[in-house]
Structure 1
Amino acid sequence: MKIDYQKKVALLHKQKKRGVKLETLEKTKASVSHLHTRYIVDMQSMDSTVSEINRLRDKQLYPKLMDLVDGMGNMWSSMHRHHKSQFLIISGIRAFEVPPVPRETTDLHYKQTCELRDIVREWHMQFEKLMDHQKGYIRALNAWLKLNLIPIESNLKEKVSSPPRQVEPPIKNLLHAWHDQLERLPVELAKTAIKSFAEVISNIVVLQEEEVSLRRRCEETRRDLDRKKAQFEDWHSRYTERRASLGEETNPEAADAPSEDPVTERRIAIEEVEIRLKEEEGHHLRLARQVREKTLANLRMHLPELFRNMADFSFFCHDMYSSLRKSAVLPVPREEDQG
């Protein structure tokens, strides 16, 4: 519209210089007047739209952002209290000791450790998303505000009536400060703490897998031993009865010949399984103790560190939102939505 108007004005000037017919000149003037009127109407309509957008920005969006600042501040304040409490509680783990005969890792215990590993991994992923989405949201609002604050200029000599433009609305300082402070948060410190703890739990899972595997091997060997003993008792009973029914008849020529005692052979086979079971149980007991010692050592080192870092990070976040609230201009009272 503006370009068309400028072209028509230029054409009108040329026609005046050339001294064209009055009829042609009047047609061009009428066209210029028509475009001028349309341009004025469009500019007024645009100003009206911009004014409504600015009203929504200042009286709807800005108060809602301040509510969000308050909500985020309260959330991080609560998180700080909880993480600080967790740090104080978990610090007592330093007094724990592995008992002389440690409890073995049960299937339920192993399953719960796997669940903890998955939960911590999910925590790390969701925490990363939370921080990225916060930054992305504020960046998007700043980009929109930059476009919103671009002035609309008119080259027309006539002044188009429009409401005075607010150069720096309160939302501008809020979004700029929000963006800058988000960038200064020690996000990597918290992310690294969660990720490191997830790796610690993963290592514990590997240790428990080895222990559970050895325990199951012991159980299988124990079942094998019980089965062989039961088979031996059944066989020995039938063997004894059969020999008793046959009496002591033997071949004199074969009496001096070396012969293998089937009872002894079977007992030796059982003893071999018993020895293997004893070795496996000893290995399992030693491994169970090692797993407990390594688990406790890892938790002593990394769990307090995790909650200390998260308590510090949540304090920084709470402090950031408190600062945003204190430095922000009081929100304009909200108006009822107009139907």
Structure 2
Amino acid sequence: MAVHTANAPAAESAAKKESKLAGLAKFRELGLLAFILLLAIGVQIRNPSFLTIENVMDMATNTAILSILAVGMMLVLVTRGIDLSIGATLALSGMLVAQIVSASAGFSPLLAVITGIGIGTVCGLVIGGLVAWLGVLPIIATLAMMNIYRGFTYMASDGKWISSYQMPESFVGIATSSVLGINTLILIALFIYIAAYYFIGHTRTGRQIYAVGSNPESAKVTGINEKKILILVYTLMGGLSGLCGVLWVSKFASAQGDTASGYELSVIAACILGGVSIAGGSGKLSGVILGAVLIGILNNALPMMDVSPFWQKGIEGTIILGAVLLNAAVKRGVERNHLLRRRI
């Protein structure tokens, strides 16, 4: 009885700590949103043209592609994986589709989008096969395929660019047109968000993705096909990369071999800022979208504040490092308190 009495305060203290840490993990999106608002206000004070309708819409369109890719990367990270090939996949699909539409002016914009998604899906399927069936580590498989896809892009283009004058107006209009005053890129991104929200929260497969990332061994015991899930997430990532390849080329009216080089780092950064754990098993769509918005604001605001490009990367890296450390601290704290409660 004495032992129980002695342990009671410790148990109560552990429960309070766990509650606080769980609350921090649960509501970190609110903190991220508050930071975004404070940053926007601070930039607006320095440069009154920051929050103009024109600049806000420009930021939204520039962030749309990043946020679409971040949705796919979130699913990959949740399964304890990573995909470093998305920039190369984007470039390859964008280049091939640009060559098709430049050679055939009557090529339907919808068919161009479908073609880009198809090319990206095949690229993602190859990576999924390497990871799921051959057991290649995700970082190795995607790094290798990144170089292969980038090489294919240079081979297909023969080192040449495809510029706006070679593309039909209907193709360029994919990313530059608007519906009810809203840019098409933003509408496509919203559609992707809604589809992802339903898929993650209201389908069995969506729940299985998190189960595989949380505890692969337990997932196997419950009958979840881990290989199928891994192939699925990398294929989805590839498909979204293919879609963004078409959107990128349409938006910037240019296709070249080094398109989106290094862009995968910004996508991963958006996910980490949004609270996706690199250890797998956790991540929220709302957080990822906010992370993408923050990256978009930084990319737009820092040049407007006359911050050196070298400092821009340093500031972005510092914020990302802080987010990683916060994620790690929250996770360690929750696990430590769970362990303490079990001992008590």
Coarse TM-score class (shorter-chain normalised): under 0.3
TM-score, normalization by structure 2: 0.22
TM-score normalised according to structure 1 size = 0.23
Q: Which protein has the larger Cα radius of gyration, Structure 1 or Structure 2?
A: 1
